Structure 1
Amino acid sequence: MPALPSLTALRCLDLSARHASFTKAAEALHLTQGAVSHQILGLEQLLGAPLFERRRGGLALTSAGQAYWAEIAPALQRIERATHDLITTKGSGGVLNLSVASSFGAYWLIPRLSGFVAAHPEIRLNLATHVGPVDWSHATHDAAIEFSAGAEPGLAAQRVLPLVVRPYAAPRPGRQPALRQALNTLPLIRVASVPDGWARWLASAGLARAVAPEQLTGGPQYDLLSMALNGAIAGLGIALLPDYAAAGALAAGQLRQLSPHALQADKGYYLRYPEWKAELVAVRRFREWLASLDAG
């Protein structure tokens, strides 16, 4: 087995790469610039490859250095995080940095979070939002609730909720138009995450021929489910919405459900996290709490 580099040498590499400077790395580590340079030279000798190109304007990683740093940087972050959590919580809780799809967080997760907070006061839950898939190669989150197909290599997944949608629109003055009339007179609001939603809903409802082809592509498209919800409330068209998002506006008389027929999307909302974080106390307890919920 080859000799392993020291943690000091790896930290010198990490900070030198981040700052493109031995001097700035030395300041962060409270070492001299010469000590950092010496650690890097020793690491290069151990590995048998140059890690940096020394330039007048600063440092630049070689291709070998870039590949090696990409592997060791996440490991150093894990060590730092695990050490911090153990010191501050003695293994009983910690911090959970969770990224959640914006609309799902606002309409489904946050109304239920008081249960988690009450059950686990030892865990501080920090929330961030995202649009689209999380870039796990750069993410600082511990976990994310994403609209996705589930697990991927290196990512574990637990389904939280399927996406089941029905058509909603704002009530109109006087007599409400029948479903077929509404479909042909109001724009069909599309959501970017489910681009074929309307075509699939119409087909499953036996209404594929009830709408002209240009209707399927002529309506507005929104990135966020919340935009589609508010667009429907504002009378901008018909939106396919999950009941949990539409329930408040429906109860307030701002929306009406045009049909009880539902479509379940191929993807769903999943709690996803790097496999190595599966047994972090905060991740495990949040995962168990989600599994205990009635996900309706």
Structure 2
Amino acid sequence: MAPRLPPSSTSVRAFVTVARLGSTARAAGVVNLTQSAVSKQILSLEHHLGMPLFERSPAGLKLTEAGAIYLPYAEAALEQMERGAMRLSERSALGRPIRLHMVAIAGERWLIERFPAFAETHPGVDVQFTNYVSESETEEPDLEISHGAPPWPDKEAHYLFGRDVALLAAPALLERMGGFRRAGDIQKMTLLQHFQMPTFWAEFTEAHGLRGAVPAHTVRYGYYSVIIRAAVAGLGVALAPRCYVAEELASGALVNPLDIGFTSVTGLWLTRRLDRPARPGLDAFIDWLKVEAAAFEAATRAA
């Protein structure tokens, strides 16, 4: 027996809509066709099935027995097509990676070693990492992890960690400089400063009653990884988030003289632009990042 498929999904949609509303005029606006076109779609479907689906009268259209039998199957067919289209749309969205733009140190000292746990539990979520987007890049990141301080009126923002800032130095440097007995001794030393964190020195001096003090010399770097290596090499003292130097503090390569530090207004934040569309897996990734960040900061404080 040859399959009795309808002439088109449009004819089936027109039939279902007319059956619900009882009028081709009212159905026309719903299916974006003219009233005449709706009538033609119904007639085409009736011709295909070989029997009338509606009784026509001045009062409107009423389903025939055949129409009443056919209606639930037509509704189910449309529902299945809509579900299929939705699944394809979701699959297409999942195929586009989530772009995460982050400062390099966050990946090196925190995220990358933890990310396999997320990837294992969310195999369908593809996350692409970058710490630089060129001027010619047309696709903006979905998420950004960067140092800063709120507010960001056009962004959803979540604090991650990094406001606990410590004074850091190599033991050999302190010995060479005659030790470190009070906060003011920092003025005798070279300061290794991140060029994006110029306020750290002002915050440090304010916290320790040294307003107006200046270091003997300042060297600026663009990456925390370089600052940390320079500090380990004894090239100067650094002010850096404690969480980034947990390994060096644990090994003794760096020390925090007199346990001196301060709580900065600047921290590491996760942001998402409010005008960006929702993406499958994005909310799950954000929630995971927040949980992992809280655990990381707690572990750093307990160390």
With the length of structure 2 as denominator, give the TM-score of the two structures. Answer: 0.59
1:5-55, Cα deviation, whole Å (9 max, x unpaired): xxxxxxxxxxxxxxxxxxxxxxxxxxxxxxxxxxxxxxxxxxxxxxxxxxx
1:37-75, Cα deviation, whole Å (9 max, x unpaired): xxxxxxxxxxxxxxxxxxxxxxxxxxxxxxxxxxxxxxx
Q: 1:114 aligns to what?
A: 116
Indicate yes or no: 2:198 matched with 1:195. yes
Aligned alpha-carbon RMSD (Å): 3.2
The answer on whether the counterparts of 2:165 and 2:241 sit within 8 Å (CA) in structure 1 is: yes
SS at match of 2:105: helix
Name the CA shift for 1:203/1:152 in 2 (closer, same or farther; >3 Å): closer
Work out the CA distance in 1 between the residues paired with 2:144 and 2:111.
12
The answer on whether the counterparts of 2:103 and 2:145 sit within 8 Å (CA) in structure 1 is: yes
* Residue 91 of structure 1, CA deviation: 6.5
* Residue 220 of structure 1, CA deviation: 0.5
Name the CA shift for 1:235/1:280 in 2 (closer, same or farther; >3 Å): same
Q: 1:161 aligns to what?
A: 161
Amino acid at match of 1:124: D
Work out the CA distance in 1 between the residues paired with 2:168 and 2:291.
30
1:179-222, Cα deviation, whole Å (9 max, x unpaired): 4485243211121122021222122023447x5x3x27x31111
> How many residues align structurally?
207
1:224-244, Cα deviation, whole Å (9 max, x unpaired): 222211111111100012122
Structure 2: which 5+ residue stretches go unaligned?
1-84, 298-303
* Residue 142 of structure 1, CA deviation: 1.5
Amino acid at match of 2:264: A
Amino acid at match of 2:143: A
Runs of 4 or more, structure 1, over 4 Å off, are 85-88, 90-94, 173-176
Q: 1:127 aligns to what?
A: 129
* Residue 118 of structure 1, CA deviation: 2.5
Structure 1: which 5+ residue stretches go unaligned?
1-82
Which has more radius of gyration?
A: 2
Identity among equivalent pairs (%)? 23
Q: 1:39 aligns to what?
A: none
The answer on whether the counterparts of 2:174 and 2:180 sit within 8 Å (CA) in structure 1 is: no
With the length of structure 1 as denominator, give the TM-score of the two structures. Answer: 0.60
Q: 1:221 aligns to what?
A: 220
Work out the CA distance in 2 between the residues paired with 1:266 and 1:139.
31
The answer on whether the counterparts of 1:160 and 1:295 sit within 8 Å (CA) in structure 2 is: no
Work out the CA distance in 1 between the residues paired with 2:242 and 2:152.
28
- 2:188 corresponds, among 175, 185, 192, to 185
1:247-289, Cα deviation, whole Å (9 max, x unpaired): 1122222111113233222232221122243631222111111
